Amino acid sequence: MNVSVVVGLQWGDEGKGKIIDYMSEDYEAAVRFNGGSNAGHTVTVNGKRVVFHLIPSAALRGKKLYIGPGVTIDPVQLIKEYNELGNVQLKVDPRATVVTPFDIWLDRKLEEMRGSAIGTTGRGIGTSFAGRMFRFSPRVCDIASGIVPDYGPMFTAFNYNPSEMKKWEEDSTLYLREHMADVPWELMQIYEKGGKILFESAQGTLLDPLYGTYPYVTSSNTIAPYVSIGAGFPFNRVDDIIGVMKAYQTRVGSGPFPTELSGSLADLIRQNGAEFGSTTGRPRRVGWLDLVSVKYATRLNQVNRIVVTKLDALSGLENLRVATRYNYQGKSSSDFTRSLYDKPEPEYVELDPIPDADWASISKRGYDSLPAQAKRLVELVEQELKVDVWLVSVGQERGMTVVA
Ligand code: IMP
Ligand code: MG
């Protein structure tokens, strides 16, 4: 298979970064096509942890890296990340939207002004994508050619002090000029020569602004078909869609979460799984695996192989549950969409808890050496989703990945 898309099947933070790094060895190019620096994709190699916000997570493998027009780019963050990585082969589409300091300021301001905050990452994502629709956000090519829109009247209306804007413009221009390229065209060149391309979605399906738990969502589409919009790559050439899901649920920010846990059990899973936001450092909300929503996400994305991550983080708990259905007003249902307007009560399957284990040595010995209880969870996932689990991840390190 030559063209793969990796998507998240939950509320982001499924471990996509690790999987992209693992897979990208076999690919020529890796591409971001949505989101912005709200993403935090973590890769750990030989104890060294790198968090990618904008640059594709294949960077440590020396691959060709692309950022498509569907991404909103904060040049300050991009330059910082690029400098930290050293020489990577990065190209950015001139049509991509740029996040300005004003967008970041306004994102935070709007959160304060809302009755109930969304809990955004405060990275100016929603405001810059909205600015794109309003047609005043600058694009990469605008910054590169020195054409920044006149925000003057708006700054006045919002009572914003634009002192940081000038320096920002100067720093951004030079860098963006050096890295611009027609991303859809370059991708098609690679494809036509038989090269393999890996697309990396940011966030997760349940944060998609149309299909997720609106308004508690992000502001660009997160599902696989967005590749054709966000990277200008024809979706009918995509032949592989990989859904990444954690063995439990997490969510940063507000919004519905039917299987959410609280108290000491939540604390334990949060600690085991190091569930603190890689972009914001916020403790993540945690809960039992919710296969009703994961199944919905699997279907929407037409996933053909599944990766289950962080099985290790569930080991040593006293009990283990997985929601396989929702109950609405006394009636059992597999319908996720209804939960947007009726309150669901999750119906759980009780599994035998996964014992403590030496996950490093298990990952060397392969799938058969996994504790039987962990394999049972994987089987349940396959049974409910009707898609094969291809990989399981049992630790942060690149090597702690097992083919199922
Ligand atoms: P925004 O994308 O910063 O506007 O935030 C909107 C919602 O999406 C908030 O609940 C964020 O916590 C969440 N979010 C955005 N990006 C990510 C991500 O990469 N992982 C997990 N949650 C995210
Ligand atoms: Mg993340």
Tell me the residue length of the chain.
404
Count of beta carbons in the 10 Å neighbourhood of residue 384: 20
- 306 and 390 Cβ atoms separated by less than 8 Å: yes
Ligand 1 shell residues, CB under 6 Å: 11-13, 38-40, 118-121, 123, 125-126, 202-203, 207, 216, 218-219, 252-253
CA atoms of 384 and 295, how far apart (whole Å): 7
Burial of 264 (0-12, 13-18, 19+ CB in 10 A): exposed
How many CA atoms does the CB half-sphere of 270 hold within 13 Å?
19
Residue 244, beta-bridge partner list? 8, 307
Fold of 3-89+183-403: Adenylosuccinate Synthetase; Chain A, domain 1 (3.40.440)
Residue 30, beta-bridge partner list? 65, 198
Residue 359, beta-bridge partner list? none
Ligand approaching nearest to the C-alpha of 127: 1
Name the residue with the closest Cα to ligand 1, atom 16.
Answer: 38
Burial of 45 (0-12, 13-18, 19+ CB in 10 A): middle
DSSP state of 316: T
Q: Domain-by-domain residue ranges, the chain? A: 3-89+183-403
Ligand 1 center from residue 305 Cα (angstroms): 25
Ligand approaching nearest to the C-alpha of 11: 1
Task: Looking at the CA of residue 38, tell me the nearest atom of ligand 1.
Answer: 16
Query: Which listed residue (13, 21, 74, 312) is catalytic?
Result: 13
- 5 and 241 Cβ atoms separated by less than 8 Å: yes
What tens digit of pLDDT does each residue of 305-353 get?
Answer: 999 999 999 999 999 999 999 999 999 999 999 999 999 999 999 999 9
- In the predicted model, residues of the chain with pLDDT beneath 50 are none
Ligand approaching nearest to the C-alpha of 219: 1
Name the residue with the closest Cα to ligand 1, atom 1.
Answer: 120
Task: Looking at the CA of residue 252, tell me the nearest atom of ligand 1.
Answer: 12
Ligand 1 center from residue 116 Cα (angstroms): 15
**pTM for the predicted model, two decimal places:** 0.96
The residue to mutate among 14, 252, 284, 285, having the most atoms of ligand 1 within 8 angstroms of its beta carbon, is: 252
CA atoms of 197 and 190, how far apart (whole Å): 8
Count of beta carbons in the 10 Å neighbourhood of residue 300: 19
Ligand 2 center from residue 119 Cα (angstroms): 15
Strands 72-73 and 249-251: unpaired
Query: Which listed residue (21, 41, 103, 240) is catalytic?
Result: 41
The residue to mutate among 218, 220, 278, 282, having the most atoms of ligand 1 within 8 angstroms of its beta carbon, is: 218
Confidence (pLDDT) at 115: 85
CA distance readout (Å), 296 to 205, 221, 278: 9, 16, 26
Strands 64-67 and 289-290: unpaired
Ligand 2 center from residue 24 Cα (angstroms): 18
Specify the 3-state DSSP secondary structure of 392.
Answer: strand
41 catalytically annotated: yes
Name the residue with the closest Cα to ligand 1, atom 22.
Answer: 12
Cβ contacts of 246 within 8 Å, gap of 6 or more: 10, 13, 14, 15, 273, 289, 308, 309, 310
Confidence (pLDDT) at 228: 98
Name the residue with the closest Cα to ligand 1, atom 21.
Answer: 12
What tens digit of pLDDT does each residue of 249-304 get?
Answer: 999 999 999 999 999 999 999 999 999 998 888 999 999 999 999 999 999 999 99
DSSP state of 355: P
